[in-house]
Amino acid sequence: MPPSADLIVENASILTMDPDTPRAEAIAIKGGDIIAIADRARVLDYKGAGTRVIDAGGGSVLPGFIEAHMHLFGGAAELDNLHLAGVHGFDALRDAIRPYASARPNARLLLGAGVDYSILSSDEPVTRHHLDRIIPDRPFAMSASDHHTMWANTKALEQAGILHGRQLGPGNEIVMGADGLAAGELREGEAFGPILEHFGQNRTRLGLTGGEPEPYPSAEELAADRDLMHRGLQWCAQHGITSIQNMDGNLYQLELLAGLEEEGRLLCRTKIPFHFKNFMTLDILEKASRMAAAYKSEWLSSGMVKVFYDGVLDSWTAVMVDDYADRPGWRGEPLFTPEHFAQVAVEADRRGLQIAVHSIGDGAVRAVLDGYQAAQKANGKRDSRHRVEHIEVTTPSDVPRFAELGVIASMQPPHPPGAMNFPLEPTLSRIGREKWPLSYAWRTLKNAGARVVFASDWPVSPVDPILGIQAAVMRKPWAEGLPDQSFSLHESIAGYTVEGAYAEFMEHRKGRLKPGYMADLVALSADIEATAPEALHTLRPVTTICGGKITYQA
Ligand SMILES: [Zn+2]
């Protein structure tokens, strides 16, 4: 007698992502793991008196999505913000802000999110005066979809004490107007941090600062933060996500998640990194090692060091090898010198930690690869799986280095200009025609042997992996003669499953559906292979299962 399953999912078009047995009709789960996956008759042998059976209605069942780069706490905190993605023109902006503001008469600060740099037009930067014309009497600020720039009205700048500017660290800037006052545009965290801090919104940036909350939150604040985290997890489970590789973090976030696990509310497996900032000294990496030692279960883990090397293209803060195409003499300002970063990489690598570095410009990508190479030289070659995040521009000589050094390329299908809700400009002009062929070059990197993992960078773009898969499949060159960087459906799904598992050294336990693997899976509303690429976004998760437990049901 075969053992009796806890749960059976049948009548499904299962894509296992396992090359040995790519397809199946039914799957049996017991004790959080998969015990059988085959045709219906064979799997029903595992049906006992207490087995729950779910009919997938012929829809696709895939391995649960692994989100390889996102910001859980910040994403959850933004769920209530005014969403401005896709809003263009002054009138549309006004018509979005005013009703949002009047519905929240008591909010100290009104916050918008998801703004395009060309929200007014590609040649008219947003200033505080535009925002004052819409909302003069209450503090208002809105952040770019990439979260590297914020625009604020006069009230917000004034109350936060930055209307007259302030000296900031490299790469950060309060843009000043001709009148000697802040123009309203705030580039990078040190520039807009004072606004979030002044209005008590800095909690949303917890973990991005690298430190721990000071003072330690009260019991109420802790409960509120835990509930917020839970809301974020629910949002992810609703989108078929079973594993999260978070890209900001500290001990506090791990404690919040451990609290949720204790309450039975940890809906996704979560990995939280230690966030290393340029002002820290190397000995702080001892803390990263302690986090790794304390949290290493299949539900909650650490063991990664996250670093920002540069900013973003749209605000000219990404670090380029050559001058920006639209700003001669300027290549961006790195947050680390190459030598400093190499020291960090050598020490983190020596400790056996994985490293993930935000590197958008080709200059940043190169410096980070150099740092990984230095680490390999100093500590010897090991299966380190260090990662480069974003890689929006790269160079012919750096492309093969990913495979040579065993470095993972972490890419975001929703991010290329023209994909999903991101406009073509100003990004394409910043990069310049000459570098377009190696911009967001997923296919080129994959063909050169790099492991390419996919993610949303939520809340930079919507967390929905199905939208990401669609964006990867539908990717079109910006001009004739450019290489086709699109992925096939199967490759795109692998980017959110198989490759995600590899990125966290868990390919023997997840990312595929096979006996002995974790029962992490998502059932979709229809058959993904029978769905036209342009209709992929109509597919919805109907059931998400993580560790054999149902974490979402439509
Ligand atoms: Zn990110």
In angstroms, what is the span from residue 132 Cα to ligand 1's centroid? 30
Q: Which is higher by pLDDT, 185 or 220?
A: 185
Name the nearest CA neighbour of 497 among 470, 521, 476, 530: 521
Computed over every residue of the chain, the mean pLDDT equals 95
Q: Is the pLDDT of residue 2 over 90?
A: no
In angstroms, what is the span from residue 247 Cα to ligand 1's centroid? 6
Distances (CA, A) of 18 to 125, 157, 526, 544: 49, 54, 21, 19
Residue that is written with structure tokens 């997923």 in the block: 442
3-state DSSP assignment of residue 282: helix
Residue that is written with structure tokens 């993904």 in the block: 528
Distant-in-sequence contacts of 277-280, Cβ < 8 A, 24+ apart: 277/209, 277/210, 277/308, 278/169, 278/335, 278/336, 278/340, 279/169, 280/210
What percent of the chain is predicted at pLDDT more than 90?
88
Q: How far apart are CA 82 and CA 554, in angstroms?
A: 25
pLDDT at 203: 66
In angstroms, what is the span from residue 358 Cα to ligand 1's centroid? 7
Q: Which amino acid is at 529?
A: E
Q: How far apart are CA 497 and CA 507, in angstroms?
A: 9
At 73, list the tokens. Answer: 């706490």
Range in 67-71, 192-196, 238-242, 362-366 with the lowest mean pLDDT: 192-196
At 61, list the tokens. Answer: 């069942």
In angstroms, what is the span from residue 271 Cα to ligand 1's centroid? 14
pLDDT at 209: 67
In angstroms, what is the span from residue 323 Cα to ligand 1's centroid? 25
With residues binned 3-state (H G I as helix, E B as strand, rest as coil), the percentages for the chain, rounded to 5, are 35, 20, 45
Q: What are 306-339's pLDDT values in tens digits? A: 999 999 998 899 999 999 999 999 999 999 999 9
Q: Is the pLDDT of residue 23 over 90?
A: yes
Q: How far apart are CA 14 and CA 27, in angstroms?
A: 9
Q: Is the pLDDT of residue 394 over 80?
A: yes
pLDDT at 201: 76
User: Crossing angle, helix 285-294 and helix 338-350, to 10 degrees?
Assistant: 30
Identify the band that residue 411 occupies on the pLDDT scale cut at 50, 70 and 90: very high
Report yes or no: 347 and 396 within 8 Å, Cβ to Cβ: no
In angstroms, what is the span from residue 133 Cα to ligand 1's centroid? 32
Q: What are 50-71's pLDDT values in tens digits? A: 999 999 999 999 999 999 999 9
In angstroms, what is the span from residue 389 Cα to ligand 1's centroid? 8
In angstroms, what is the span from residue 114 Cα to ligand 1's centroid? 14
pLDDT at 206: 66
In angstroms, what is the span from residue 457 Cα to ligand 1's centroid? 5
In angstroms, what is the span from residue 105 Cα to ligand 1's centroid? 32
In angstroms, what is the span from residue 24 Cα to ligand 1's centroid? 35
Tell me the longest C-alpha to C-alpha distance in the chain.
Answer: 83
Region of 350 on the Ramachandran plot (φ > 0 left; ψ -120 to 50 alpha; else beta): alpha
In angstroms, what is the span from residue 8 Cα to ligand 1's centroid? 36
In angstroms, what is the span from residue 49 Cα to ligand 1's centroid? 46
In angstroms, what is the span from residue 262 Cα to ligand 1's centroid? 28
Report yes or no: 435 and 126 within 8 Å, Cβ to Cβ: no
Report yes or no: 276 and 288 within 8 Å, Cβ to Cβ: yes
Report yes or no: 307 and 332 within 8 Å, Cβ to Cβ: no
Report yes or no: 130 and 90 within 8 Å, Cβ to Cβ: yes
Q: Which is higher by pLDDT, 404 or 224?
A: 404
3-state DSSP assignment of residue 222: helix
Q: Are strands 110-115 and 82-83 parallel, antiparallel or unpaired?
A: parallel
Q: What are 443-501's pLDDT values in tens digits? A: 999 999 999 999 999 998 899 999 999 999 999 999 999 999 999 999 999 999 999 99
Q: What are 136-173's pLDDT values in tens digits? A: 999 999 999 888 899 999 999 999 999 999 999 888 89
In angstroms, what is the span from residue 75 Cα to ligand 1's centroid? 11
In angstroms, what is the span from residue 501 Cα to ligand 1's centroid? 18
In angstroms, what is the span from residue 147 Cα to ligand 1's centroid? 9
Distances (CA, A) of 419 to 469, 471, 473, 476, 498: 11, 6, 11, 8, 23
In angstroms, what is the span from residue 412 Cα to ligand 1's centroid? 10
Residue 426, preceding peptide bond in cis (omega within 30° of 0): yes
**Torsion angle defined by CA atoms of residues 117, 317, 394 and 437, in that order, rounded to the nearest 10 degrees:** 30
Find the mean pLDDT for residues 129-133.
Answer: 97
* Sheet strands (E) in 39-162: 52-55, 60-63, 65-70, 82-83, 110-115, 140-144, 149-152
